Amino acid sequence: MHLHILGVCGTFMGGIAAIAKQAGFRVTGCDANVYPPMSDQLSALGIELIEGYGADQLHLAPDLWVIGNVVSRGNPLMEAILDRGDRYLSGPQWLAEQVLFGKWVLAVAGTHGKTTTSSMLAWILKFAGRSPGFLIGGIAPDLKVSACSSASECFVIEADEYDTAFFDKRSKFVHYRPKTVILNNLEFDHADIFDDLAAIERQFHHFVRSVPAVGRIIVNGRDAVLKRVLAQGCWTPLEEFGVMAGWEAGDPDGEGTFEIAWQGRALGRLKWAQAGEVNRLNAIAAIAAARHVGVDPEVAIEALSRFSGVQRRLELKGSVRGVRVYDDFAHHPTAIRETIAGLRQRHRDGRILAVFEPRSNTLKKGVMKDALPGSFVGTDRTYIYSAGLSWDAESVFAPLAAGVCCEANLEVLVAAVVAEARNGDQILVMSNGGFGGIHQKLLAALAGN
């Protein structure tokens, strides 16, 4: 059976392509924007990529068109598919019907930490010999790919609240029917599809309604918004994390080792290379979810002690003349603040030079822009790439005074960062896109090339 996937280079749809290819389908795909790491992963799998959405792709005559949520009405290929009356499905519906049905689905949801927590959980299950299938919005070196199929009963999925497709405006995660759920946190985001936080809470309520009574919901006990969601109705046993009555992560010692406890009972100490309190919370949530599917917490702790992290999550891209360049996916004010805090914990000496691209649909619209300056207070210097914004970056970031540089020209921005950088500095690049290959531009400029 031949699938042609529209929007194939998104992390989710690219994961579907990988899973379908492994399952024996013939897979091709198209997209308007192609950049690593997903483009590299698809090429390695031998999946043919077509640039753009030309209607001439109808000649491929696939058995099924699988439609990503990046596609909207007016897209020339989609219009041609509709006019011809071809069969099509959304990515989440295809996944639910062809892969997830009959599996023990472990789903990780929340505004922040989904990719990291999903990767931790899949790695724990793999380490424990459970050989899970998974679909995650990023690539963890320990897992090697962002998605894979498996004969195992377990399937770990990053459960995104973004909409399913132009013809199905429900959140993706309502399709997944999980048995184990992690609810990390909930804040307003995705202003392009949600009017307010209440609208997102309603989708999370629909998600909670799909979890069976024999399942388990692992929830952040500190999050007031998630408490509101659960107050709308919950029919599944709960386990809280981040609170004394549930799963706890202690404060790290000088070597970064911290204690993990369940209901006041110490289960072991975890020493690892990950930074920040958010990652400690991600860890205990993953351990709790793994326990529900039968993995002993001691085994999970040992697995995480060997966890290498996730690409684009405080990923070191290189070091030149004593200046380290990091890449991170942070694009929400809270995630930016926590990422900076995590890097500061890792490197208490030396300066942090933050380089940020406000690329998400939410920030491009100017929603939450006023919260951005406060997110960067932990840096020594902040550089904002202001091209394509509908709002004045210099005015918004004026509270940072001389500590900020706003620039619409990428080459000029790179030059400004390199001119400031000195031995011992950490350059933290944050964007949810490719950012014009800025990481390599910075490293090359630092090297004098």
Name the helix (H) or strand (E) containing 444: helix 438-446
Shared-domain flag, residues 106 and 65: no
Tokens 């071809």, residue located? 86
DSSP 330-371: --SHHHHHHHHHHHHHH--SS-EEEEE---SHHHHTTTTGGG
Predicted pLDDT at 146: 85
Range of the domain at 388: 315-446
Shared-domain flag, residues 433 and 336: yes
Predicted pLDDT at 343: 85
Counting DSSP H helices and E strands in the chain, the numbers are 15, 23
Shared-domain flag, residues 239 and 370: no
Q: Say which DSSP state 98 is in.
A: I
Inside any domain, residue 160: yes
Shared-domain flag, residues 291 and 402: no
Q: Are 301 and 270 in contact (CB under 8 A)?
A: yes
Residue 289 has φ and ψ, to the nearest 5°, of: -65, -40
- How many folded domains does the chain comprise? 3
Shared-domain flag, residues 87 and 173: no
Q: What is the C-alpha to C-alpha distance for residues 152 and 173, in angstroms, rounded to an integer?
A: 21
Q: What is the C-alpha to C-alpha distance for residues 130 and 13, in angstroms, rounded to an integer?
A: 25
Integer angstrom CA distances of residue 336 from 120, 275, 280, 432: 21, 14, 17, 11
Shared-domain flag, residues 65 and 150: no
Total Cβ atoms within 10 A of residue 261: 17
Of 270, 305, 340, which residue is a domain's last? 305
Name the helix (H) or strand (E) containing 148: strand 147-148
Inside any domain, residue 9: yes
Shared-domain flag, residues 77 and 156: no
Q: Are 284 and 219 in contact (CB under 8 A)?
A: no
Integer angstrom CA distances of residue 316 from 4, 186, 234, 309: 35, 28, 41, 11
Residues 6+ apart with CB under 8 A from 141: 308, 309, 311
Inside any domain, residue 96: no
Q: At what angle do helices 277-292 and 297-305 cross, to 10 degrees?
A: 140
Inside any domain, residue 97: no
CATH number at residue 60: 3.40.50.720
Shared-domain flag, residues 366 and 261: no
Predicted pLDDT at 156: 98
Q: Are 416 and 382 in contact (CB under 8 A)?
A: no
For residue 281, give the nearest of 182, 160, 162, 135 by alpha carbon.
182
CA 355, 361, 365, 371 dihedral sign is negative
286, two tokens: 């993953």
Shared-domain flag, residues 320 and 301: no
Q: Say which DSSP state 250 is in.
A: P
Q: Rounded to 5 degrees, what angle do the CA atoms 37, 42, 43 make?
A: 100
Chain centre to alpha carbon of residue 141: 15
Of 305, 334, 356, which residue is a domain's last? 305
Inside any domain, residue 204: yes
Q: Are 113 and 153 in contact (CB under 8 A)?
A: no
For residue 177, give the nearest of 105, 116, 112, 239 by alpha carbon.
105
Predicted pLDDT at 35: 66
Per the DSSP assignment, residues forming a β-bridge with 325 are: 318, 427
Q: What is the C-alpha to C-alpha distance for residues 326 and 318, in angstroms, rounded to an integer?
A: 7
Shared-domain flag, residues 300 and 265: yes
Q: Are strands 247-249 and 258-262 parallel, antiparallel or unpaired?
A: antiparallel
Predicted pLDDT at 252: 84
Shared-domain flag, residues 288 and 334: no
Residues in the chain, pLDDT under 70: 34-38, 191, 449
Residues 6+ apart with CB under 8 A from 228: 201
Shared-domain flag, residues 71 and 27: yes
Of 305, 326, 358, which residue is a domain's last? 305
Predicted pLDDT at 181: 98
